[in-house]
């Protein structure tokens, strides 16, 4: 699986996790140079507190286009530190 924005591969892995219609990439599969920490956080009733990243490619910013659960609930432990994308980031096989 690949996560692509502005024709750049942001993440690529054969070990993704599909959950609630989102593809979560392992932390080591994500190219961190394209992520910038955001102040945004949201609470999922069963997964816990999500922390967001802006995706940045060639000085263009896709605000809060990636998120992760650094301390998920016990039910969501398999996605701990995995990263998912939205807001125009394409996920392809």
Query: What b-and-e string marks burial along 30-50, b requiring 16 or more CB atoms within 10 Å of the CB?
Result: beeebbeebeeeeeeeebbeb
Write down the pLDDT at residue 48: 97
- What CATH number is associated with residue 33? 2.170.150.40
- Tens of pLDDT, residues 61-77: 999 999 999 999 999 99
- Tens of pLDDT, residues 13-32: 999 999 999 999 999 999 99
Count of domains in the chain?
1
Dihedral angle sign, alpha carbons of residues 81, 31, 13, 8: positive
The residue count of the chain comes to 93
The residue range of the domain holding 75 is 2-92
Strand partners, 25: 83
Choose among 61, 64, 36: nearest CA to 50. Answer: 64
């Amino acid at each position: 699986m690949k996560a692509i924005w502005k024709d750049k591969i942001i993440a690529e892995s054969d070990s993704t996790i599909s959950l609630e219609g989102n593809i979560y990439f392992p932390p080591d599969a994500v190219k961190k140079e394209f992520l910038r920490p955001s102040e945004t956080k949201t609470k999922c009733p069963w997964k816990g507190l999500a922390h967001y990243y802006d995706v940045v490619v060639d000085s263009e910013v896709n605000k809060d286009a990636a998120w992760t659960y650094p301390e998920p609930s016990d039910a969501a432990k398999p996605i701990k530190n995995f990263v998912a994308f939205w807001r125009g980031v394409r996920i392809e096989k």
